[in-house]
Amino acid sequence: MKKKKSIKICIVVGTRPEIIKMAPIINYCSRKKIKYFIVNTAQHYDYMMSKVFFDELGLSRPKYNLDATKGTHGEETAEMILFIEKVLHKEKPDVVLVQGDTNTVLSGALAAVKMHIRIGHVEAGLRSFDERMPEEINRTLADHMATFLFAPTALAKMNLLRDGISEKKIFVVGNTIVDAVCAYSEVKHVPLCHGVCFGLHFPKGSYILATLHRAENVDVKGTLRQILKGIELVHRRFGMPVVCPIHPRTQKMIKKFRLSVPQGVKLIEPVGYVHLLHLLKNARLVLTDSGGLQEECCILKTPCVTMRLSTERSETVNVGANIIAGTKALDILKSAETMANKRAKWQNPFGDGKTSERIIKILLGKLG
């Protein structure tokens, strides 16, 4: 009987959500002694900040780190392609794994496809159908370059088939975010926010959580003003404090536009993933423009209001866990009123927490 050869996997990350969603795959490879290495472009953070995330999630350190230039999309992408290409030339992996829709994903996929190295796209097939979003361009291009498309749901698979991608390349495996939530939501080794949250005394269900960071929201003065007003209206309507881990970009633009943080909003520093999960789990309601938080709220049974015009996580809306409010203040308030008293009877559409195992087993079966 012919012995299967071992494979070498390159895992490319660069943003906090990518590190979180690739963490279950990294940990599974470590447990099963599968050969892999991590390339970190540090797209959102410098090396030291990224190091904190790896430590918090108990991950092995990246073998290669780039301190990416914070320039235009083109400058950032070009720098990352050059960096990743040199790594791939040296390491010669059997497959490059990328996750999601960032410039890191596009760069990793482009570098690999030009060198005829197979690409696995984790969380393939998501579509907002809004091509004004750079993320929509990135994920669509990555899907068309990928050898293995790991779709989280049947809806994502349908999007890929509509794009003309061969069904033979598509594998519906669930979403690694479920693996991550299962692994980290019960972690007890760091101070948690049960009862006391960063010096703020908020019992379970007595506060609203808000996050805001997307360029199309915070870089436009009128849009940012409307969202802040909407958050203020929600605070007044429910009489609850709104806890907001403030994103550096949002803080910068509030100051630039000379806007005020609404009364009732408690700004805190950005939090680690374990803290974030406990904030999500204990909130009465979440107001966000994040893609990942829509999924996490759905998994943790916390009602979500998405302050955007569209979403690529339409499964969360379909099951009743999420509502797309838009960015007008009154619409945000009405959506919050709709979701706040909703009973969390929805089913999680993103899988059973074994997605990382399925992905690696598929790769071993195809390449080993």
Tokens 């994103």 -> residue: 247
Own/partner pairs for 313-320, CB < 8 Å, 24+ apart? 313/126, 314/155, 315/153, 315/155, 315/349, 315/350, 316/349, 318/155, 318/349, 319/346, 319/347, 319/348, 319/349, 320/345, 320/346
**CA–CA gap between residue 14 and residue 97 (Å, rounded):** 12
**CA–CA gap between residue 57 and residue 251 (Å, rounded):** 26
Identify which of 53, 350, 20 has the alpha carbon closest to the alpha carbon of residue 175.
Answer: 350
Q: Is 213 annotated in the active site? A: yes
Contact 94, 118 (CB under 8 A): yes
Q: Which amino acid is at 354?
A: K
Contact 74, 106 (CB under 8 A): no
The strand ranges marked E within 106-182 are 118-122, 148-151, 170-172
Query: Of residues 213, 235, 275, 278, which has the active-site annotation?
Result: 213
The helix or strand, by DSSP H or E, that contains position 82, with its residue range, turns out to be helix 73-91
Enumerate the active-site residues. 213
